[in-house]
């Protein structure tokens, strides 16, 4: 018995040039003139190009890259600072919060390294004066309060929330900037970190409200 072979041919247009598909007349839909269907479908190039990052020589691009270096330094600095805060805290809940956030912060460092990779850049840190200042303030709080006191825990929460708010402002701004520059994947990575910073901030608020502030208020 003779074998019958059926060949299916793809007729997709490439780079806007006409192909077999341009000759196909499409069926009209409600209320539209059949004339409208004699043309080949519009090429998709514009849409695809819009998803690509814009030319990376702009000043804004440079600023974005610089700000990434800044928050990269800040996150790495926090990896060193959080264990000190954990050690200084008395409340087991607060200690746990610092331990948990250390893990989360290490993930933030790794995510930023991923972002540098997407940009085709080497991860580079640039000293963040703001984060250095906030963590120095945290050190002063530890020096100025008694070990084992809830007042010190209140101070640590306050310092940690200043850190979180700085990070929330930074990641929120950078995620938006990434979208403006056409880096949708980077924007989504930064948004993930942003949500984790907000969660950490909310946890600290709960700790203060539920136990630590009251406990400190009853101290001499």
Q: How far is the CB of 189 from Fe ion (least distance, A)?
A: 13
**Nearest residue to 68 (alpha-carbon basis) of 161, 163, 175, 166:** 175
Q: How far is the CB of 156 from Fe ion (least distance, A)?
A: 17
Exposed/middle/buried for residue 158 (C-beta within 10 Å: 0-12, 13-18, 19+): middle
Q: Which residue number, 153 or 167, has a Cβ lying nearer to Fe ion? A: 167
Position closest to Fe ion via CB: 108
Q: Which residue number, 64 or 73, has a Cβ lying nearer to Fe ion? A: 73
Torsional class of 120: left (φ above 0), alpha (ψ -120 to 50), beta (otherwise): left
Q: How far is the CB of 176 from Fe ion (least distance, A)?
A: 17
Chain positions contacting Fe ion, by CB under 5 A:
105, 108, 167
Show the CA angle centred on residue 29, arms to residues 27 and 30, nearest 5°: 150
Distance from C-alpha of 167 to C-alpha of 94, rounded to nearest angstrom: 19
Distance from C-alpha of 171 to C-alpha of 188, rounded to nearest angstrom: 11
Q: How far is the CB of 205 from Fe ion (least distance, A)?
A: 17
Q: Which residue number, 16 or 133, has a Cβ lying nearer to Fe ion? A: 133
Q: Which residue number, 187 or 216, has a Cβ lying nearer to Fe ion? A: 187
């Amino acid at each position: 018995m003779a074998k019958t072979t059926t060949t299916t041919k793809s007729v997709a247009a490439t780079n806007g040039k006409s192909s077999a598909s341009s000759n196909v007349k499409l069926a009209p839909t409600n209320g539209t003139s059949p004339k409208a269907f004699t043309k080949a479908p519009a090429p998709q190039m514009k849409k695809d190009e819009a998803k690509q990052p814009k030319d990376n020589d702009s000043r804004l691009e440079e600023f974005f890259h610089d700000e990434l270096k800044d928050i990269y330094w800040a996150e790495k600095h926090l990896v060193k600072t959080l264990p000190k805060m954990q050690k200084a805290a008395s409340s087991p809940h607060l200690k746990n919060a610092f331990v948990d956030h250390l893990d989360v912060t290490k993930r933030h460092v790794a995510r930023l390294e991923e972002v540098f990779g997407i940009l085709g850049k080497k991860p580079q840190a640039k000293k963040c004066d703001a984060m250095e200042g906030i963590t120095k303030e945290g050190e002063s709080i530890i020096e100025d309060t008694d070990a084992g006191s809830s007042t010190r825990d209140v101070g640590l929460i306050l310092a940690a929330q200043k850190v979180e708010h700085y990070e929330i402002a930074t990641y929120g701004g950078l995620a938006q900037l990434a979208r403006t520059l056409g880096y949708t994947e980077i924007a989504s990575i930064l948004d993930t970190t942003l949500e984790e910073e907000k969660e950490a901030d909310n946890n600290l608020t709960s700790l203060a409200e539920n136990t630590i502030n009251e406990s400190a208020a009853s101290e001499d």
